[in-house]
Amino acid sequence: MKSYFWFVAKRAVLLVAVIFFGVSATFFITHLSPISPVETALGRIMNQSSFSPDAIEEMRRVLTDLYGTDRPLLQQYLTFWQKLAAGDLGPSLIAFPTPAMTLVMQALPWTVVLLLVSTMITFAIGNLMGAMAGYFQDNIALKAFGVVAVVLQPIPYYVVAFVLLILFGFVWPVLPISGGYAMDVAPGFTLSFVQSVLMHAILPAASLVLVGFGSWFLGMRALVSTVVTEDFVTYAELAGVRNSTIMGGYVIRNALIPQVTGLAMSLGAVFSGTIITEQVFNYPGLGSLLIDAVFGGDYALVLAVSTISIAAVGIAIFIVDLLYPLIDPRVKAE
């Protein structure tokens, strides 16, 4: 038990280091951006009407001062950590002076719910079917399913999403195609709101599942097909243990570890959002927020989204690492 404690402690230190270096790297990468938040803000303002050029010059000076973009990079870096330590990610520059965190929190629930649900469904379907296909390698139905998975998987996600949109929004218009919920329901924990949210999530979620399950399927199928050739499976078969028990008890358990690792890492995608889903279905979420932030030169916002994403992925990997020795007894906690 003591050794396990040290194992956890070491991993925890590593976790903190990963977050620190990850966020620092992102800080410097985002500040490399040639897009100036002051110029994009000015662009938005100036495009609206006819300002005299000397007024614009003055506005540029005021905004630069306000956004603090002219300060030395190292100073900005230190201020960033100081503020972050206090839980503040600074004001967003595309929606100055709204805190970047406020914008993130507005988009986060949509993305997290949509992606967590569809990732879990995808993971479940893909692995279950993949395990079966790997074990019962001669089953025709499972082979057919495999072909479907293989054929669906490479289709560019944009096309899958768009075909769903055209089918259920245009050819047979039965599902809503824009937004997170209908305009005439008030947000809140009411039946009509939840219903509306579910209806609006069907197409985005379906598109994600359709495209996503293939890689889990193929991965699991490959893993299981190596595990089934191992001696203990042959012994079990010779001993007359039922197929379902072999599969559930030995095979999947052995093959699941890499898949769970994969799941932990795909959480990163959960927090950076799905840009194309949001674009095709006009769905609210972090993806388009991130795009707007990058295009607007709003490094505060890019950093806010990235920091959350880095922390989430780091923690997920940390948890999986802790679980390794528990799932697979052959792996020692070291």
Cβ-Cβ contacts under 8 Å for 223 (sequence gap 6 or more): 130, 134, 255, 258, 259
Number of residues binding to another protein, judged by CB under 8 A: 146
Structure tokens that stand for 21 in this block? 């270096």
Stretch that binds another protein, among 1-9, 16-24, 80-88, 238-246 (CB under 8 A): 16-24
Stretch 87-146 residues interacting with another protein (CB under 8 A) = 92, 94-98, 103, 106-107, 110, 117, 120-121, 123-125, 128, 137-138
Q: Decide if residue 53 touches another protein (CB under 8 A).
A: yes
Which residue number, 51 or 77, has a Cβ lying nearer to another protein? 51
Stretch that binds another protein, among 52-60, 72-80, 81-89, 238-246 (CB under 8 A): 52-60
Binding mask 288-327 for another protein (x = CB under 8 A): xxxxxxxx------x--xx--xx--xx--x------x---
CA dihedral 36, 37, 38, 39 (to 10 degrees): 60
Tell me which long-range contacts 227-233 makes (C-beta under 8 A, separation of at least 24): 227/134, 227/251, 227/254, 227/255, 228/134, 228/135, 230/254
Q: Using the rule CB under 8 A, which residue among 25, 105, 194, 319 binds another protein?
A: 25
Structure tokens that stand for 71 in this block? 């300060």
Q: Decide if residue 47 touches another protein (CB under 8 A).
A: yes
Q: Decide if residue 236 touches another protein (CB under 8 A).
A: no
Angle at 101 between CA 96 and CA 103, to 5 degrees: 65
Stretch 173-202 residues interacting with another protein (CB under 8 A) = 173-180, 182-184, 186-187, 198-199, 202
State how far the Cα of 219 lies from the Cα of 215, in Å rounded to an integer.
Answer: 6
Q: Decide if residue 223 touches another protein (CB under 8 A).
A: yes
CA dihedral 43, 45, 50, 56 (to 10 degrees): -70
